[in-house]
Amino acid sequence: MFDTNKLSTAVKRGLLLAGSASLFAAPMALAQSDDENSAEPVEKIQVTGSRIKRVDLESVSPVTVITAESIALSGDTSVALVLRNSSINTFGSFRGQSGYGSGASASSEVNLRGLGAGATLVLMDGRRLPGLGYDGGSSSDMSMIPMSIVERIEILRDGASAIYGSDAVAGVINIITKKQFDGVNVGYSFEDPGADGGNSSKYNFSAGVTNDKGSIVFIAEHENTQEVSDVAVSGENALDSYSTYSPVANFYDTDTSSYLYNEDLCGDVADTSIESDRCGYYYGNTTWLYGASEKNSLMTKIEYELAENLQLITRFSALQTSTDTRYAATPVSTSSLTIDADNAMNPYGQDGSVYFRTSSLGTRDTTTEKTTFEMVTGLEGYTDIGGNEWDWQVYYQRTSAKEEVFNYNLVNDTVVQDLIDTEQLDLFNVQGLSTDDWSAYNAELLASADHTGTYQSTQMRDIIDGSISGEVSRITS
């Protein structure tokens, strides 16, 4: 499936804060024809892992190329899936899951060599992708790239921090996009994993025009993915995952090192049962393993020949993502709850700790909204200096990433402790209410502790870079 070469012929442009000139060019050995006039011109290439354009096909940099044909045969519908399933990515990738806060649940990152997503540099046509706001911009979201514009994927398997900086310690991934596309293409795909949830549908639209002066390509994609619950994957109670933090409170007896609870309530309240010496709560029935998401992406790429040996290249891309995830109701665990021996709502007559979950307030739901923009424009060309050809480029790149995260049904532990201390909250049903009345009574009190947590981040970058490379002299044997 994968074609591994010592040198990829991809156009590769790294980030330079200042122009740089190559002092040495790689030695070449070009086959000569008896009739020099019959020799065809050889196009120079930019090498992944190097800043020097050259025409040789040998390099010590181990570059793996995943071609468009290989991607089509794999059946993967996104760049993130292609890389996640690649044998090169031996330590796996991050896929957003329920329970991850601050925007991570809506992201797809790649982790080469197990050094973390922040140590793998992701490029598109040699330009850095916008960073994620929640982690300070140290990693990139692979869902930024529409699948239908991908020509091939190049993976530099060695560290390249000397060229690209510390964020390339684990390696470099360069997504090469299509340069020529004529006509209009409309596509639709649907995935059904066979279990409850996880169905995914994707629509894509592609249009492009190519002529002798240049090309323009426009890509738009829309994708909807349903959530996947823990139970749908593992089966009912398959994980045997019971928590001591239960909607039927567990009282910890320090004298006997055991738990006490209301046996009439345990098992009658949803998802609770007697487990060992405590009332356990099976959180797998409510937790989503993967959240529901909606993604919209578009990209426009323009290449135009302004004059001989002078080309304008412009790219605009945008991604809007909305993700909903779900986790079990909030356990009151930030600060340990306690109840005094003389508290009217304490049926056990001694001081102790309380393990309790606020299921009556509902599940912990997280909504993540992400919007990412990128604009790149630049000039490329080559000129003759002293009889030698020098390739040059200058670019301006502006990126913007905004994330808003809303975590619903969180609980203020201090308010809950106050409700216990003021003998209002009846955790052990001292009043002898029915199960429904007991739940409603406590839910009304706990509403004062309910709140929504928010997280917002905005990251903007302006980058100007340029480079120049060419031959100073040749070394011949």
Q: Check residue 129 and report its DSSP letter.
A: P
Given a cut of 50, whether residue 460 has pLDDT beyond it is: yes
Q: What are the distances in angstroms from CA 434 to CA 167, 243, 264, 273, 440?
A: 59, 24, 10, 18, 10
Given a cut of 90, whether residue 97 has pLDDT beyond it is: no
Q: Are 10 and 48 in contact (CB under 8 A)?
A: yes
Give Cα 109 to chain centroid, integer Å: 4
The string of pLDDT tens digits covering residues 173-183 is: 888 888 778 89
> pLDDT class for 386, splitting at 50, 70, 90?
confident
Residue-averaged pLDDT of the chain? 79
The string of pLDDT tens digits covering residues 272-282 is: 999 888 999 99
- Contacts of residues 377-386 at CB distance under 8 Å and 24 or more positions apart, as own/partner, are 377/312, 377/313, 377/314, 377/315, 378/312, 378/313, 378/314, 379/306, 379/310, 379/311, 379/312, 379/313, 380/310, 380/311, 380/313, 381/309, 381/310, 381/311, 382/309, 383/309, 385/470
What interhelical angle do 413-421 and 435-446 show, nearest 10?
120
The widest CA-to-CA distance across the chain, in whole angstroms, is: 106
Given a cut of 60, whether residue 236 has pLDDT beyond it is: no
The string of pLDDT tens digits covering residues 285-326 is: 888 888 899 999 999 999 999 998 899 999 999 999 999 999
Q: Are 127 and 13 in contact (CB under 8 A)?
A: yes
Cα–Cα distance for residue pair 433/426, rounded to 1 Å: 10
The string of pLDDT tens digits covering residues 242-265 is: 899 999 999 998 888 899 999 999
